[in-house]
Amino acid sequence: MQGADLVTAAAGLLSASSSDYKSLIIYRSLLGFGVGGGHVFTSWFLEFIPASSRGAWMIGISTFWTIGTLMGASLAWIVMPGLGWRWLLALSSIPAFLVLLFSIFAPESPRYLYMKGRTNEALGILEKIALINRTELPTGILLSDQNTDLDEENASSDETTLLSSTGKKKSYSETFFKSVLELFSKNLLGTTLLLWLTHFGYTFAYYGLVLLITEFNSAQRECGSTTIQSKKVQDASLYIDAFINSSAELPGLVVGAVLVDRLGRKLTMEILTGLTFILMLPLISHQNQLVTTALLFGARMFISTAFTILVVYAKEVYPTSVRGTGGGLATSMGRIGGMVCPLVAVALTSGCHQTVAIILFEIVVLVSGISILLFPFETMGRELSDM
């Protein structure tokens, strides 16, 4: 987490001092690299919360993503007209430095430490957790799902809490490639491919909806409306539209938090995906600005919540040994969807091909819904697996 936070904060600040377009692209690419490592936080957080309310906790922590989006839209609204983009980028990097401070003091994952053989550190963190929760660690022997050879002398006392080493330490590259190969093993191959496909589809749809609100309004002015507006009025409208549609995620997260630990991850995602599909259907034909904004508001509310639950599911379905790698690669596939969607949301819509753009989005959402039906099992209430 610290490495990703440091890259994000530094690249964000350097972006504000870019001397030319080329350097700006380089710094923003580094920023994207750092942000991409942010998925590690969800894997880490997942291991500290109870299984019975894990879904609600994960959705709750995702609320801060939405709050950050709203703050970003508000900051752009305030800063851009008077101070320009450099100040916007500089001020936007401040939260990343605050997160860096948090990551320095955050405890390491006990599961990770155990898997790496750093048993004393793992036990120390567990003892601190027990102290904060005003309880005690259970007596006896603490084991994972691994086959571990225990020394009879260490195992003789029922009052001993034992965390065993996993043996010979391996380099980072060896561990990473072993994890990647495990993702394509017989047991995990189907899960991996389905998660990649759904991450691609959800990211494509989510960022497409983010872009469509501004593109639709611009396209309506260029393709179907003869009304002339000043640039200042158009810019103000863009900020307002961005703020309104970003706020759509808040009620969606509330709905998700209520349903995810009651209906389960898969059924909740299916319902939300279906509602997204339904709300986007009327946009195949041109609507007025109010109707368009309302439909995109609802669609973004549901797809953003479904996306959040997908992230939770991806981290729960994988064992600890590949959880970080599996979640990271799935997120990377999702980023490809985010890279491709502007070709549809921007290029087609600005070219007055709104119907074609929406049909493509609907196909992607439909395929994502089918993929969810094929997910291997429901993770609601299940304990996390180590192997």
pLDDT interval class at 375 (50, 70, 90): very high
pLDDT at 140 over 70: no
Domain borders along the chain are 1-76+84-116, 121-168, 172-374
Q: How far apart are CA 292 and CA 370, in angstroms?
A: 26
Q: What pLDDT does 150 receive?
A: 39
Mean pLDDT of the chain: 79
Q: What pLDDT does 176 receive?
A: 67
Of 37-41, 90-94, 264-268, minimum mean pLDDT range: 37-41
Phi, psi of 215 (to 5 degrees): -70, -40
Q: How far apart are CA 339 and CA 328, in angstroms?
A: 17
Task: Give mean pLDDT, residues 259-282.
Answer: 93
Interval 13-30: pLDDT, tens: 888 888 888 898 898 888
Highest mean pLDDT among 69-73, 114-118, 183-187: 183-187
DSSP 91-133: HHTHHHHHHHHHHHHSPPPHHHHHHTT-HHHHHHHHHHHHHHT
Please check whether residue 272 is in contact with residue 264, taking contact to mean a CB–CB distance below 8 angstroms.
no
Select the more confidently predicted residue: 265 or 138.
Answer: 265
Select the more confidently predicted residue: 208 or 320.
Answer: 208
Q: What percent of the chain has pLDDT over 90?
A: 17
Q: What pLDDT does 65 receive?
A: 80
Select the more confidently predicted residue: 266 or 253.
Answer: 266
pTM: 0.72
Rounded to 10 degrees, the C-alpha dihedral 373/198/316/176 comes to 140
Interval 142-194: pLDDT, tens: 554 444 443 444 444 444 444 444 444 555 566 667 778 888 888 889 999 99
Q: How far apart are CA 314 and CA 199, in angstroms?
A: 9
Helix (H) or strand (E) holding 320: helix 320-342
pLDDT at 345 over 90: no
> How is residue 41 written in tokens?
């936080």
Task: Give mean pLDDT, residues 306-324.
Answer: 86
Q: What pLDDT does 141 receive?
A: 57
Q: How far apart are CA 15 and CA 68, in angstroms?
A: 19
Of 134-138, 313-317, 370-374, minimum mean pLDDT range: 134-138
Please check whether residue 382 is in contact with residue 316, taking contact to mean a CB–CB distance below 8 angstroms.
yes
Q: What pLDDT does 153 receive?
A: 40
pLDDT at 69 over 60: yes
Which residues in 169-300 belong to E strands, given as ranges? Answer: none
Please check whether residue 322 is in contact with residue 183, taking contact to mean a CB–CB distance below 8 angstroms.
yes
Q: What pLDDT does 152 receive?
A: 40
Q: What pLDDT does 332 receive?
A: 85
From residue 332, how far is each of 57, 314, 336 by CA, in Å?
24, 13, 7
From residue 113, how far is each of 3, 69, 137, 206 by CA, in Å?
18, 34, 17, 35
Q: What pLDDT does 309 receive?
A: 92
pLDDT at 369 over 90: yes
pLDDT at 358 over 80: yes
Q: How far apart are CA 66 and CA 159, in angstroms?
A: 46
Per-residue DSSP letter, 220: I
Task: Give mean pLDDT, residues 257-265.
Answer: 89
pLDDT at 72 over 60: yes
CATH class of the 1-76+84-116 domain in this structure = mainly alpha
Q: What pLDDT does 107 receive?
A: 81
Q: What pLDDT does 172 receive?
A: 56
Please check whether residue 380 is in contact with residue 265, taking contact to mean a CB–CB distance below 8 angstroms.
yes
Total residues found in the chain within this entry? 387
Please check whether residue 53 is in contact with residue 243, taking contact to mean a CB–CB distance below 8 angstroms.
no
Task: Give mean pLDDT, residues 342-350.
Answer: 77
Interval 203-246: pLDDT, tens: 999 988 888 877 766 555 556 554 444 444 455 566 777 777 77
CATH code at 172-374? 1.20.1250.20
Helices 320-342, 172-183: crossing angle, 10 deg rounding:
70
Q: What pLDDT does 223 receive?
A: 64
What is the rounded radius of gyration, in angstroms, for the C-alpha atoms of the chain? Answer: 23
From residue 216, how far is each of 208, 277, 279, 340 by CA, in Å?
11, 18, 15, 18
Identical fold at 1-76+84-116 and 172-374? yes
Of 167-171, 280-284, 371-375, minimum mean pLDDT range: 167-171
